[in-house]
Amino acid sequence: MDELLGADGRPRPAAAELLRMLSSLEPDALLERQRAAEAEILTMGITFTVYSDGEDIDRAWPFDVVPRIIDGVEWDSVSAGLAQRLRALNLFIDDIYNERRIIADGVFPEELLTDSVNLREQCRGMRPPNGVWAHISGSDLVRHADGDLYVLEDNLRVPSGVSYMLENRAVAKRTFPGLFERQSIRPVDSYTDELNRLLRAVAPDGVTDPQIAVLTPGVFNSAYFEHSFLAQRMGAELVEGIDLTVGEDDHVYMRTVDGPERVDVIYRRVDDLFLDPLEFRPDSLIGVPGLMRAWREGHVTIVNAPGAGVADDKVVYAWVPDIIRYYLAEDPIIANVPTWRCMYDDERRHVLDNLRELVVKPANESGGYGILIGDRATDEQLAASRAAIEADPRNWVAQPILDLSTVPTVIDGALAPRHVDLRPFILTRGVAPGESYVTPGGLTRVALPEGSLVVNSSQGGGSKDTWVVDLPEAVR
């Protein structure tokens, strides 16, 4: 399915203005705009890091000038579905670390927690402010050949990519200024303001002017550009673990030239296991000793909260529709992709009998690593996947190979269809309706090699700006 053109070859209404402009360009004009955008990205220093053969390689962010278009009416429904999903997941996480009603009522299997690599026993009994564990989510969406958007997975631990969404928009505005003047394209620029408001709103009780810090693993992390970008945009402090200390009063302090300064809210971009060497990995050099103690005492808010990753699991993902119905008494607004759970004998047999027709995924990998696409795999890869599933069924799920939608993309100087997915970002400060902000659109990722379904930048993917376009009623 082409997202800009209908089956009859005519532009979809929301894409008509873009396609009209593209068709009016001289043959080399689009390529010139692509080159200008790439030069601007180099000048601005927008990079990401690829880990390869023990080396950390900084590369210019891969950006394609042809935007992805989504109709505003469709997006209103998607936005509501994403907010619904995050509300339910927060209620689920809070329940798992406390009463576990969903298990007692037979809706969710306890054995999933027994083998969960993201369950943190150190979080049992905690009640974060407003019941929110995952304040920030980046859910990945895909559009199937039927035209509908589906949730492919949830990212609740340290979701990344929002800085690239914002920079993509800045470059797109300079590439196609006329289109922004002639259309109603929903802005995304307010994200950092919304994030700043969220972080201030979740400060510990009694703190009216919180000191906010972005905790980064350091310059060698693949997302360091984003960490520094967000800290700068919000006017927050960018810190590493070595910059923070926990005092005898169980408050967190930042080292400054003027002496220790209290920190009230930490937007952490460090995985749970490295946050506090006193409670997780003792060999962590990027964490803060005593940080968990300060968090449990309510003296600092950590966003996202430790332990939120218990719901960031591709096996738990299969239960999200049931989780929504259980906690909200609502049907899911956005559907999951059908998922087979290898922990169950009958579903595992189906997967093993149909490996050629399925995408097989490990439960807790990210970045596209460990995924097997059956119809593109060698016999050796299929055999290795079969052995891995049989050895550890809990760690594997499978999904159908979807016919992902495509968007025209500049390839070797000409437009060619390439598969895409979408990562919107959701912020929430509470579990009641109306307490969430959803970016209009998000980060569209592109599988650049012909026929590829892998969109991750670490594996050769690119990106596009995403335009949510509101059409006049007369045009619909």
Query: Are residues 91 and 75 part of one domain?
Result: yes
pLDDT at 367: 60
Question: Are 191 and 425 spatial neighbours (Cβ–Cβ below 8 Å)?
Answer: yes
Query: Are residues 126 and 102 part of one domain?
Result: yes
**pTM for the complete prediction?**
0.94
CA 420 to CA 179: how far, in whole Å? 22
pLDDT at 96: 98
pLDDT at 56: 52
Query: Are residues 464 and 437 part of one domain?
Result: yes
Question: Are 269 and 286 spatial neighbours (Cβ–Cβ below 8 Å)?
Answer: no
The pair of structure tokens assigned to 185 is 């394209």
Domain count, the chain: 2
Query: Are residues 111 and 38 part of one domain?
Result: yes
**Would 280 be classed as within a structural domain?**
no
**Would 151 be classed as within a structural domain?**
yes
Residue in this structure with the two tokens 């899911």, named with its chain if needed? 332
Query: Are residues 457 and 374 part of one domain?
Result: no
Parent domain of 376: 338-401
Closest CA to 159 of 283, 55, 17, 309: 309
**Would 218 be classed as within a structural domain?**
no
Ramachandran sector of residue 201 (left: φ over 0; alpha: ψ -120 to 50; beta: rest): alpha
Helix 224-234 to helix 162-175 angle (10° resolution) is 80
Q: What is the largest CA-CA distance in the chain?
A: 70
pLDDT at 7: 87
Last-in-domain residue among 380, 401, 422 = 401
Query: Are residues 348 and 329 part of one domain?
Result: no
What is the dihedral angle through the alpha carbons of 114, 120, 126, 131, rounded to the nearest 10 degrees? -90
The pair of structure tokens assigned to 116 is 């969960």
CA 215 to CA 276: how far, in whole Å? 12
Strands (E), 157-228: 184-185, 212-215
Q: Are strands 462-470 and 63-71 parallel, antiparallel or unpaired?
A: parallel
Query: Are residues 49 and 133 part of one domain?
Result: yes
The pair of structure tokens assigned to 424 is 């919107």
- Per DSSP, the three-state class of 21 is helix
**Would 240 be classed as within a structural domain?**
no
Question: Are 310 and 304 spatial neighbours (Cβ–Cβ below 8 Å)?
Answer: no
Query: Are residues 100 and 56 part of one domain?
Result: yes
Question: Are 150 and 78 spatial neighbours (Cβ–Cβ below 8 Å)?
Answer: no
SS3 for 6-62 is CCCCCECHHHHHHHHHHHHCCCCHHHHHHHHHHHHHHHHCCEEEEEECCEEEEEECC
**Would 227 be classed as within a structural domain?**
no
pLDDT at 53: 43
Query: Are residues 374 and 318 part of one domain?
Result: no
Query: Are residues 415 and 365 part of one domain?
Result: no
Last-in-domain residue among 401, 416, 433 = 401
Query: Are residues 342 and 197 part of one domain?
Result: no
Last-in-domain residue among 401, 417, 438 = 401
Domain containing residue 360: CATH number: 3.30.1490.270
**Would 247 be classed as within a structural domain?**
no
Query: Are residues 123 and 37 part of one domain?
Result: yes
**Would 436 be classed as within a structural domain?**
yes
pLDDT tens, the chain, 476 aa long: 999 999 898 999 999 999 999 999 987 999 999 999 999 998 888 877 665 444 556 778 899 999 999 999 999 999 999 999 999 999 999 999 999 999 999 999 999 998 899 999 999 999 998 999 999 999 999 999 999 999 999 999 888 999 999 999 999 999 999 999 999 999 999 999 999 999 999 999 999 999 999 999 999 888 899 999 999 999 999 999 999 999 999 999 999 999 999 999 999 999 999 999 999 999 999 999 999 999 999 999 999 999 999 999 999 999 999 999 999 999 999 999 999 999 999 999 999 999 999 999 998 876 667 899 999 999 999 999 999 999 999 999 999 999 999 999 999 989 999 999 999 999 999 999 999 999 999 999 999 999 888 887 767 789 999 999 999 876 66
CA 340 to CA 326: how far, in whole Å? 21
**Would 269 be classed as within a structural domain?**
no
Question: Are 402 and 142 spatial neighbours (Cβ–Cβ below 8 Å)?
Answer: yes
